[in-house]
Amino acid sequence: MRTNMLCTYMEEYQADGFLVNSIKSCNSFAAGELLMLREIEERTGKPAAFIETDLVDPRYFSAANVKNRLESYFQMIAQKRARVAA
């Protein structure tokens, strides 16, 4: 149901992609996120990215790593927009 709902929202809000910030210490919520991400990417044809952080345990958070992942993701979206515009 979550996958269907997210695909609907992406279409409704004309999202350019899908980004998951998975919280490492919350296994019950994080369960299946990667599978959902892949399914949403396949259904919508939009780029998706997965970032794993933790709001509780600082050992699992690196600002530099998150920044690099986000920059790569936004670059991927910009490239996709450029291909569509061409």
> For the chain, what's the residue count?
86
Task: State pTM to two decimals.
Answer: 0.77
CA 75 to each of CA 8, 16, 47: distance values in angstroms, whole numbers, following the listed order: 24, 12, 11
d(CA 23, CA 47): 20
Q: What is the pLDDT of residues 28-83, one digit of tens each?
A: 666 788 899 999 999 999 999 988 888 777 777 888 888 999 999 999 999 988 98
The token pair that represents 47 in the structure block: 């780029």
